[in-house]
Amino acid sequence: MEPLRKLNSKLFFYVSLLTVPLMVSVVYGVVSRYFLGRADARAFFLSVWLYGVVSILAGGYLVATEGHVYIDLIYKRLGGRARTVLEVLSLAVIIAACAVIAIPGVQVAWRSTVINEVDSSLGIIFAPPIWWYRWVAVVGVVLVLAQALELLCRRVRSR
């Protein structure tokens, strides 16, 4: 499943570039709040969305590079076979959690797309579409799920 790892690596590279506009958005929000005397809600929403996109879509890369966290106090004390069992159990939990999130996530994203859902928390003045953000979450969860399945297969085959 090398293509999946390559996809996650490329996606991580491009998504990591979003940290620059994220930083600009946060700085603009702080400057407008403290130096201009008025907070700009758009800067807040933009920074939340950018941070969400970065963190959600980087998940597959995290699993691909085995950057997910094991409990080091326990993991370091285990032998080779016990480590493998812990890794398999951890990956099984990740896979189960992703499956539980992905199935209703697709339904919510589809419904949101059909109704062209907007965020109306700021009223009619600023009501940006959010249906696309629902799909970002689904794609991120599916990438983590697929990468965890691939890693689980590698672990089982190697032992």
Instruction: Kindly report, residue by residue over 123-141, the tens digit of the pLDDT.
Output: 667 778 889 999 999 999 9
pTM: 0.83
- Residue in this structure with the two tokens 């085995």, named with its chain if needed: 66
Task: List the structure tokens of 18.
Answer: 């979003």
Instruction: Give me the pLDDT at residue 132, please.
Output: 93
Residue spans of the chain under pLDDT 70: 1, 68-73, 122-124, 159
Residue 32 near residue 40, CB atoms below 8 Å = yes
Tokens 């799920």 correspond to 145
What pLDDT, on the 0 to 100 scale, is given for residue 1?
A: 60
Q: What are phi and psi of 121, to 5 degrees?
A: -65, -20
Can you read off the two tokens belonging to residue 80?
A: 């080779």
Neighbours of 47 (CB within 10 A): 19
pLDDT at 157: 82
pLDDT at 121: 75
